[in-house]
Amino acid sequence: MGIRKTAEPAPSADDGDDAAQEAQFRNFLDAVHANTASKLTAEIKETYLSTMFCLLGNISYRLGRELRFDAASGRFAGDAEADAMLREPYRAPYTIPRI
């Protein structure tokens, strides 16, 4: 199955209901501030999966090919170029050390 590229503009963060997006963000910050997941209106795993699928699809689209993702390892199967797109490089001094 090939990837169809069109000249149509992609959706942006400005599309949709700003008030709903702001409410979701506010809910997340309130839960972090209260240090309790019970305040969240969306399950963490559901949010992670829905976001992950979008990001993986975007990587596939940008590379112009089908990819195989290994969820257990969190990496693409045999594709270093795609793996490199999983995380943007951090700018010093805002780095996260690898443990």
| β pairing state of 75-76 and 69-70 | antiparallel
Number of domains in the chain: 1
Q: Could you identify the residue written with the tokens 């008030």?
A: 19
The per-residue pLDDT for range 54-66, each reduced to its tens digit, is: 999 999 999 999 9
Any domain includes 10:
no
For residues 74 and 52, the answer to whether their CB atoms sit within 8 Å is no
- 34 Cα distance to chain centroid: 24
Any domain includes 54:
yes
More confident residue, 15 or 28: 28
**pLDDT grade, residue 1 (50/70/90)?**
very low
Any domain includes 70:
yes
The per-residue pLDDT for range 22-31, each reduced to its tens digit, is: 888 888 889 8
Query: What average pLDDT does range 1-21 have in this prediction?
Result: 62
Domain residues for 75? 43-88
Which pTM value belongs to this model?
0.59
For residues 40 and 27, the answer to whether their CB atoms sit within 8 Å is yes
Any domain includes 31:
no
Any domain includes 72:
yes
